[in-house]
Structure 1
Amino acid sequence: MPSSPTFDIELTLLLEAVYQRYQHDFRHYARSSLARRLRQAMEDFGCRSLSHLQERLLHEPEVFARLLGYFTVQVSEMFRDPPYFRALREQVLPVLKTYPSVKIWVAGCSSGEEVWSLAILLAEEDMLDRAVLYATDINPDALHAAETGIYPLDRVAQYSQSYRDAGGKRSLSDYYTAGEHGVIFDRALRRGMVFADHSLATDSVFSEVHLVSCRNVLIYFDRELQQRALGLFLDALTRRGFLGLGNRETLRFSGYETRFSEFCAEERIYQKS
């Protein structure tokens, strides 16, 4: 459904209200995607307009907590895009193995499937004991889900196939046990993980890292916010560190293409120059 001028005004005011009231900045998220998800939120919350939704979120903090799920796209799966993980295993990790310790930042980790996938990959390459994985997101519910490492049983078949396609050396079932609420991944994989609230829109770099993996996040930002995020990644990376993006994302025409070289162009893996 196309936006009306009134809807566009209401959307601008709602995003400003969220920023002023809760210090979450969605003002530079891609408008078309936000508008689509907030229309769904209006329907789910029984609000006749965005102004009505804004009134509720300003006066009912619990509404905003629930609304975060509409602002952020929580779509993830283990070993998503297997060739990306195979490229990490075969091309990036051999370089990172030369360091005494390794720090990895998964920005916009959602419910954590990528973090647990990376932990398995590191374990199989005998690197987990000297690795720290920073998993960040702005959605506290997503972070909690990521930290538990519990995922629905009906998704495991697809996870297992992607793991094999990514060059997995064992069976994925070696890394989890079946529980009442799904499969629970081995706590030993968890020891190097650090979960934290972090906004690419408002927060600063918090650590120097050797690899940033931020996949399928920038597509939800406008150009200004994409530039800010890429600047954070550049500042966070060590000399010759690696940046992994989603298969619909690129550094071309970003202004940062000269600061990186294409390390594995097909899989959108770049190396800091």
Structure 2
Amino acid sequence: MVKEFDSFEGSEYQEIDLEKIEIQLLLQGIYDMYGYDFREYAYHSIRRRVIHRMQNENLSSITQLLDKVLHDTATLKRLVENFSINVTEMFRDPSFFLQFREKVIPMLRTYPSIRIWHAGCSTGEEVYSMAMLLYEEGLYDKTKIYATDFNTKVLKKAKRGIFPIENMRKYTNNYILSGGKSAFSDYYTVTDNGVVFKPFLTEHVIFAQHNLVTDKSFNEFHVILCRNVLIYFNKELQVKVHQLFYDSLGMFGILGLGSKETIYNKNYADVYEPVSVQEKLYRKIK
């Protein structure tokens, strides 16, 4: 629809509209040129990251950023890293892990083998947390954890298993509140480079690149965990990703979401039953 203006000059509405057009062109250009699809990410979240990258590149417009991204892959890499949401911690939201331990673990005990998908695993803190929990419950040896993210840089960090020592006090407290059965310090060694977690915690973990926006289902899982990722997608993309999770979960499989997320719209509400409404744990029943 074409918008008409009595006066184009100095129009705040025009400036806002122009900015949206520039961002749309930027995202479309990235998709057409490189195959990364951020077109259905939540607009305000994407806008903050675009403006941040534009300012850090010392550019005066988003159009200039588009030009630089299309001709310089290093700039693209920096922008894509900005789009990757990497806010995480070990045993984040301890009550979630406590409910998982108390309500989901008994279900998993009935399976001869277990497949878990951590979608959007970021730097891996929650992957290591789940490995510890499964180890303490005697299920780790029969479990395969698939930890995926579209950002290869954070996957490399996750594989290394090295984290800042200053985070350990908070992580220890989270671990205790989540029902931890050992001493948290037993799982890591302090080095000059930071805290290194014991190698056995990744013996049953596969770290791999996977893009929730463009990639398909790659296995059938007993558990899918995707916490605090969907909030950065628009409604249409949320529906698409929920379909991916539904297709990837086996019957009676468990879906775990973030504290601000839920089963989206009526298309999915009746195919799951709540395991824990408060902690956003659901069981596939249809």
Contact in 2 for aligned 1:219/1:249 (Cα 8 Å): yes
Q: Does 1:18 align with 2:30?
A: yes
3-state DSSP of counterpart to 2:278: helix
Cα distance in 1, alignment partners of residues 195 and 57 from structure 2: 32
Partner of 1:113: 125
Q: Deviation per CA, 1:153-175, whole angstroms, max 9, x where unpaired?
A: 11111000000000001111100
Contact in 2 for aligned 1:227/1:254 (Cα 8 Å): no
After the TM superposition, which parts of structure 1 deviate over 3 Å for at least 4 consecutive aligned residues?
none
Instruction: Decide which structure has the larger Cα Rg and report it.
Output: 2
Partner of 1:263: 275
**Quick one: percent identity of the two aligned structures?**
43
1:137-148 aligned at under 5 Å gives the runs 137-148=149-160
Q: What's the CA shift for 1:254?
A: 5.0
Cα distance in 2, alignment partners of residues 110 and 248 from structure 1: 18
Match of 1:162 among 174, 177, 193: 174
Match of 2:138 among 104, 126, 133: 126
Contact in 1 for aligned 2:94/2:178 (Cα 8 Å): yes
Contact in 2 for aligned 1:80/1:114 (Cα 8 Å): yes
Cα distance in 2, alignment partners of residues 149 and 237 from structure 1: 28
Contact in 2 for aligned 1:176/1:184 (Cα 8 Å): yes
Partner of 1:201: 213
Cα distance in 1, alignment partners of residues 188 and 111 from structure 2: 29
Contact in 2 for aligned 1:212/1:242 (Cα 8 Å): yes
Q: Which amino acid aligns with 1:159?
A: Y
3-state DSSP of counterpart to 2:267: coil
Partner of 2:91: 79
Partner of 2:58: 46
Partner of 1:8: 20
Partner of 1:243: 255
Cα distance in 2, alignment partners of residues 147 and 21 from structure 1: 29
Match of 2:246 among 222, 227, 234: 234
TM superposition score normalised by structure 1: 0.98
Cα distance in 2, alignment partners of residues 48 and 163 from structure 1: 46
Cα distance in 1, alignment partners of residues 263 and 211 from structure 2: 20
Unaligned 5+ residue runs, structure 2?
A: 1-12
Q: Does 1:172 align with 2:184?
A: yes
Q: What's the CA shift for 1:253?
A: 2.3
Q: Deviation per CA, 1:141-199, whole angstroms, max 9, x where unpaired?
A: 01111111111111111000000000001111100001122101100011110011111
Contact in 2 for aligned 1:109/1:136 (Cα 8 Å): yes
Cα distance in 2, alignment partners of residues 123 and 271 from structure 1: 23
Unaligned 5+ residue runs, structure 1?
A: none
Q: What's the CA shift for 1:72?
A: 1.5
TM superposition score normalised by structure 2: 0.93
Equivalent pairs counted in the alignment come to 273
Contact in 2 for aligned 1:76/1:110 (Cα 8 Å): yes
Cα distance in 1, alignment partners of residues 181 and 247 from structure 2: 34
RMSD: 1.3
